């Protein structure tokens, strides 16, 4: 029975589908093939409802990565969620999430994209509120409502697509790109993508969603769900390159990258630091995409999925061992207690920083060099490079806090590396985090990009990374006699550590006036005028009328006799006086 | 109503409470143990310095201390995972068994077999209990 658990069965199924998807993607890539599969659902006279699927190397490769990460995460959950009451529900939800993601990836049609998109939103809400405490419920509500804005934008885009008679956007993008309607559709799709990928006005849900179990964070909030927005914009990239939409997205995405990079340096929750790092990388993908390099965005999306999922899985193993404690101030010296997990953690961190020849290096380095040869302003250039430095800084800080020094937790503990199922799950991704970058590089770019730059420019990325590491060390190093650096700059640290107060703006800030208005309406209308005239008054009137009717009914004989007498009097009157 | 104090705390208790909260705040700022201990000793010295002042001065110092604590409060206080405010607080809520007894008869009627068996088991449990520990004293029955 041990081998027939829901985790094992799902793992085997998903990994085999992933492998076949990967082989197909190689075949499609090498032969430059695209498959459109149409399935006619209903055909009545001239109307036909058609379901379309698009298979090209991009969708197949993305699908194979999603399935591979999902399978390893499910494998890992077998041990991580072992003591959980509702593990079956958990695995079912993860499988439903994977299905929605598949639908989204292979859809060239806005309606079926919406189906997948809404499926993702709903399942991610269910996964965020998987633990039943108030924190999770709040986080789930924030997640669901932020994503709902994107859903509405997508619905509006569908309504505008009616102008063209079909929702298969892929046929219209190039032909209609200069039309106003297409610009509107593009901006709505961009809004949808920004909510899903947590770009600046909608950033606060991603760190809040860390209330979900860690395997969910590894799959949903790092590698798949949040990249759905980037993937959607990769499909719509033509609309971005030649309009102001791209410029706007570049500004917002690079600000997101900058804000989250700074925020991660002042955060103390292990999972939130990684979530902010994800946000920073999403900003990088979005900003390079907005400059028109969609292949680079796709490349970084795939490599990032590999090492970020691994990073979350390592964080999960650490949290599991620390008895659910996520505060990095309670950690320390983990490299001695959990050497294998620490190895995986460090490799994924180095890949994130862009250490040469690991997965992140190929995509990140290429993106930064392309930025250097592109025609962009100083501000964007600064944001790109400063954020790269910040990435190294918070990674270094994370390693400093968790891996070095002494353990800050209680002295009686059972920290060990004996969770073999979780470790095996991590090892699969460890290998991919090392070789994934070079492999994808050779696949996606068979002819290498030749980027000629002056020597100092070429070394700029390296310098920025070294300075970032130094900065990370300096801010986290504590001296016995010096005051805490964050305490010295209290206001700045509070501002940066709270994501520029964005969570407050998108919760209290958004809801304050509507809620007050609602209270007024409830008080003066629902329970006031409307109740007085509608409920109470109408009721009172009906009661009065029915009382009168009752009176008449009870005295009907008397009334009849009275009328009888009355008419006789009138008749007598007529007879006597006329 | 939330602002109405439920109890009047003595000056001494307020100072003790301030001291404890200040220590927790230090713990959040200075995460390495040796550095924290150094700061904690300094804090204790500051409190001890003003130990035997007269009450008027003590009240003023208490207000100053509370203000200082408020102004330097950590933006992400260090919480224990399973305690209130921690990340794993009340993660798994297992509804107590007696909740089922409060179901409406119409709700219970949807699962007749289960509830019939449940009633049977309750009777069996009472029988077992009485056999094991004897019948309850009639004085203890009923409301007091």
User: End of a domain among B54, B70, B86?
Assistant: B70
Q: What is the pLDDT of residue A59?
A: 93
CB contact under 8 A, A487 and B72: yes
* A133 shares contact with chain B (CB less than 8 Å): yes
Q: How far is A229 from chain B (nearest CA, A)?
A: 28
Measured between CA atoms, the residue of chain A closest to residue B78 is: A327
- For residue B43, what are the domain limits? 9-70
Q: How far apart are CA B52 and CA A341, in angstroms?
A: 54
List pLDDT tens digits, range A5-38.
889 999 999 999 999 999 999 999 989 999 999 8
In tens, the pLDDT along A344-383 reads 999 999 999 999 999 999 999 999 999 999 988 899 999 9
Scanning B99-128 for CB atoms below 8 A from A yields: none
Q: Is residue B1 part of a domain?
A: no
Q: Which of residues 69-88 of B touch A (CB under 8 A)?
A: 71-72, 75-76, 78-82, 86-88
Give the mean model confidence (pLDDT) for residues A30-56.
86
Nearest-Cα residue of chain B relative to residue A482: B35
Whether B95 contacts chain A with CB within 8 A: no
Is the CB of residue B18 less than 8 Å from the CB of residue B62? yes
Would you call A573 an interface residue with chain B, using a CB distance cutoff of 8 Å? no
Containing H/E element for B60? helix B55-71
- Lowest-confidence region among A9-23, A340-354, A469-483, B8-22: A469-483
Nearest CA in chain B to A211: B87
pLDDT, residue A73, reads: 93
- Asked if B13 and B66 sit in the same domain, the reply is yes
> Residue A399: how many CA atoms within 13 Å on its side-chain side?
22
Residue B39 pLDDT greater than 90, yes or no: yes
Which H or E element spans position A70?
A: helix A57-80
Contact B32 A494 (CB under 8 A): no
Q: In this complex, do B76 and A323 lie within 8 Å of one another by their Cβ atoms?
A: no
Q: Which A residues in the span 360-419 are in contact with B, Cβ-Cβ below 8 Å?
A: 401, 405-406, 408
Model pLDDT, residue B143: 66
Q: What is the pLDDT of residues A317-335, one digit of tens each?
A: 999 888 889 999 999 889 9
* Cβ neighbours around A315 below 10 Å, total: 25
Checking if the pLDDT of A448 tops 80, the result is: no
Q: Tell if the CB–CB gap between B30 and A131 is shorter than 8 Å.
A: no
Classify burial at A203, counting beta carbons within 10 Å of its beta carbon; exposed 0-12, middle 13-18, buried 19 or more: buried
* Residue bearing the bigger pLDDT, A354 or A1: A354
Write out pLDDT tens, residues B52-98: 778 899 999 999 999 999 999 999 999 888 888 888 888 877 888 99
Same domain, yes or no: B13 and B65: yes
Q: Kindly state whether residue B141 falls inside one of the protein's structural domains.
A: no
Residues of A (209-238) whose Cβ lies below 8 Å from B: 211
B115 found inside a domain? yes
CB contact under 8 A, B82 and A131: no
pLDDT in tens, A207-217: 999 999 999 99
Contact A437, A356 (CB under 8 A): no
Q: Average per-residue pLDDT in chain A?
A: 90
Q: How far is Cα B29 from Cα A483, in angstroms, rounded to an integer?
A: 10
How far lies A358's CA from each of A69, A274, A312, A423, A430, in Å?
A: 18, 18, 17, 20, 10
Cβ contact, residue pair A267, B76, below 8 Å = yes
Give the separation between CA A455 and CA A460, rounded to whole angstroms: 9
A44 pLDDT above the threshold of 90 = no
Q: Tell whether B76 is covered by a domain.
A: no
- Rounded Cα gap, residues A183 and A189, in angstroms: 10
Q: For position A2, what pLDDT does the model report?
A: 59
Q: For residues A193 and A181, what is the distance between their CA atoms, to the nearest angstrom? A: 18
Q: How many domains does chain B have?
A: 2
Q: Would you list the domain boundaries of chain A?
A: 1-238, 241-477, 484-527, 536-577
Region B97-110 average pLDDT: 93
pLDDT, one tens digit per residue, over A71-113 is 999 999 998 888 887 888 999 999 999 999 999 999 988 889 9
- Give the pLDDT confidence score for residue A459 in this predicted structure: 92
The size of the A-B interface in CB pairs under 8 A is 74
């Amino acid at each position: 029975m041990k081998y027939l658990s829901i985790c094992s069965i799902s793992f085997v199924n998903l990994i085999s589908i992933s492998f076949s998807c990967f082989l197909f993607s190689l075949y499609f890539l090498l032969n430059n093939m695209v498959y459109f599969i149409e399935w006619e659902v209903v055909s009545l006279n001239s109307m036909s409802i058609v379901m379309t699927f698009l298979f090209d190397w991009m969708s197949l490769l993305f699908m194979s990565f999603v399935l591979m990460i999902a399978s390893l995460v499910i494998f890992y959950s077998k041990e991580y969620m072992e003591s959980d009451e509702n593990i079956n529900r958990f695995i079912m939800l993860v499988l439903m999430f994977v299905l929605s993601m598949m639908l989204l990836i292979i859809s060239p049609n806005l309606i079926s994209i919406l189906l997948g998109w809404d499926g993702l939103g709903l399942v991610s809400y269910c996964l965020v509120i998987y633990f039943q405490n108030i924190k999770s419920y709040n986080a789930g509500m924030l997640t669901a409502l932020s994503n709902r804005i994107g859903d509405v934008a997508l619905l509006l885009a569908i309504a505008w697509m009616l102008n063209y008679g079909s929702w298969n956007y892929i046929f219209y993008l190039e032909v209609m790109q200069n039309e106003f309607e297409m610009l509107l559709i593009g901006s709505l799709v961009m809004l949808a993508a920004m909510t899903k990928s947590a770009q600046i006005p909608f950033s606060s849900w991603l760190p809040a969603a860390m209330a979900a179990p860690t395997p969910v964070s590894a799959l949903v909030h790092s590698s798949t769900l949040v990249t759905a927005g980037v993937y959607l914009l990769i499909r719509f990239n033509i609309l971005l390159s030649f309009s102001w939409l791209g410029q706007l997205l570049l500004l917002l995405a690079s600000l997101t990258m900058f804000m989250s990079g700074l925020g991660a340096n002042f955060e103390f929750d292990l999972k939130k630091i990684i979530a902010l790092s994800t946000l920073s990388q999403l900003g990088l993908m979005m900003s390079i995409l907005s400059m028109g390099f969609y292949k680079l965005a796709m490349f970084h999306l795939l490599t990032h999925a590999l090492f970020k999922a691994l990073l979350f899985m390592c964080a999960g193993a650490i949290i599991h061992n620390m008895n659910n404690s996520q505060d990095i101030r309670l950690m320390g010296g983990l490299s001695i207690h959990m050497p294998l997990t620490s190895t995986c953690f460090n490799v994924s961190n180095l890949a994130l920083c862009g250490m040469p020849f690991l997965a992140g290096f190929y995509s990140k380095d290429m993106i930064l060099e392309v930025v250097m040869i592109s025609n962009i302003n100083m501000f964007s250039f600064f944001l790109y490079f400063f954020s790269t430095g910040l990435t190294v800084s918070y990674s270094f800080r994370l390693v400093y806090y968790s891996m070095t020094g002494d353990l800050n937790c209680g002295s009686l503990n059972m920290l060990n590396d004996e969770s073999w199922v979780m470790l095996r799950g991590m090892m699969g991704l460890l290998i991919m985090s090392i070789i994934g970058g070079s492999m994808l590089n050779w696949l996606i770019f068979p002819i290498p990009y030749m980027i000629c730059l002056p020597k100092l420019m070429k070394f700029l990325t390296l310098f920025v990374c070294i300075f970032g590491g130094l900065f990370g060390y300096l801010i986290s190093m504590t001296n016995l006699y010096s005051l805490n650096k964050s305490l010295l700059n209290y206001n700045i640290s509070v501002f940066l550590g709270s994501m520029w107060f964005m969570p407050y703006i998108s919760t209290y800030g958004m809801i304050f006036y509507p809620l007050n208005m609602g209270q007024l309406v409830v008080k003066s209308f629902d329970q006031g005028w409307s109740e007085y005239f509608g409920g109470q008054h109408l009721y009172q009137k009906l009661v009065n009328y029915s009382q009168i009717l009752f009176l008449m009914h009870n005295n009907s004989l008397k009334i009849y006799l009275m009328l009888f007498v009355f008419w006789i009097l009138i008749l007598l009157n007529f007879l006597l006086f006329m | 109503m939330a602002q109405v104090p439920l109890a009047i705390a003595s000056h001494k208790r307020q100072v003790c409470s301030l001291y404890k909260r200040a220590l927790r705040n230090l713990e959040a700022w200075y995460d390495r143990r040796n550095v924290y201990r150094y700061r904690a000793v300094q804090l204790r010295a500051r409190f001890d310095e003003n130990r035997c002042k007269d009450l008027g001065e003590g009240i003023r110092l208490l207000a100053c201390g509370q203000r200082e604590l408020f102004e330097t409060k950590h933006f992400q206080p260090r919480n224990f995972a399973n305690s209130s405010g921690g990340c794993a607080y009340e993660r798994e809520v297992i509804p107590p068994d007696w909740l089922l007894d409060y179901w409406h008869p119409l709700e219970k009627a949807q699962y007749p077999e289960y509830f019939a068996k449940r009633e049977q088991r309750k009777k069996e449990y009472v029988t077992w209990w009485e056999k094991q520990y004897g019948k309850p004293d009639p004085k203890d029955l009923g409301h007091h």
